[in-house]
Amino acid sequence: MNRVYDRLVTLLHNKFEVPADRVEPTATLGELDLDSLAVVELYVTLQEEWGIALDDSAASAELTVAEVAGAVSGQLGLPAEPVPHDGSGR
């Protein structure tokens, strides 16, 4: 289980009202209906929650959920962990 990915799914669901069943590793933030302002808000939230510095210039609606989780994991010094691919969003 990847705790960063799981937290990201929860955050997308709770804060950005994305149905959990729509969140898949390969889904882009744009496909989840996050506009550019929401993507920046997501980045700020992730930085505050994890106490990390993400590259804001890389924040884009074209990023996939797995890429965002990977960026956070990388900043935390965590090894890249596989994310679920069962389509359940979990």
Q: What is the mean pLDDT of the chain?
A: 88
Q: Please check the confidence at residue 1 and state whether its pLDDT lies above 60.
A: no
Handedness of CA 82, 43, 23, 21 (dihedral sign): positive
What is the mean pLDDT of the segment spanning 12-39?
95
The tens digit of pLDDT for each residue in 27-40 reads 999 999 999 999 99
When pLDDT is cut at 50, 70 and 90, the band that residue 12 belongs to is: very high
Are 66 and 28 in contact, with CB atoms under 8 Å apart? Answer: no
Tokens 């989780």 correspond to what residue? 69
Closest CA to 60 of 83, 82, 42, 80: 42
